[in-house]
Amino acid sequence: GAVVSQHPSRVICKSGTSVKIECRSLDFQATTMFWYRQFPKKSLMLMATSNEGSKATYEQGVEKDKFLINHASLTLSTLTVTSAHPEDSSFYICSARELSSGSYEQYFGPGTRLTVT
């Protein structure tokens, strides 16, 4: 149980285009989903926290107009990188917290490797 998927696993896009990354909880309902960014050989940096049906809360220094987050249902959150540039190239990981268990555990997706050329 508690499986989180991400799609796509890898994406290459041209500078100036937008890219959407999906995060799904496959076998549970997630009240809260988190989006992280990980640079090579580095730790995970929390970008934003999204709650179903409400606006995402962004961490300091993260541009909300550039990284659009939508959490339209209890099983799906999307991250759209708008007008992507090479410096946005990174590994993006989502996680989800289960609704009913009372657990504070986050279940992580497998990540999406974004390369902007």
Partner 1 sequence: AQSVTQLGSHVSVSEGALVLLRCNYSSSVPPYLFWYVQYPNQGLQLLLKYTTGATLVKGINGFEAEFKKSETSFHLTKPSAHMSDAAEYFCAVSKPGTSGSRLTFGEGTQLTVNP
Asked if 89 is part of the footprint of partner 1 (rule: CB under 8 A), the reply reads no
The DSSP 8-state label assigned to residue 88 in this structure reads G
Asked if 74 is part of the footprint of partner 1 (rule: CB under 8 A), the reply reads no
Interacting residue with partner 1 among 44, 62, 74, 99 (CB under 8 A): 44
Looking at beta carbons only, is 34 or 67 nearer to partner 1?
Answer: 34
Asked if 8 is part of the footprint of partner 1 (rule: CB under 8 A), the reply reads no
Return the beta strands (E) in the chain as ranges.
4-7, 10-13, 19-25, 30-38, 44-51, 57-58, 67-73, 76-81, 90-98, 106-108, 112-116
User: In terms of Cα–Cα distance, which of 23, 21, 26 is closest to 10?
Assistant: 21
Q: Which residues bind partner 1 (CB under 8 A)?
A: 4, 6, 32, 34, 41-44, 46, 49, 91, 93, 95, 97, 104-111, 113
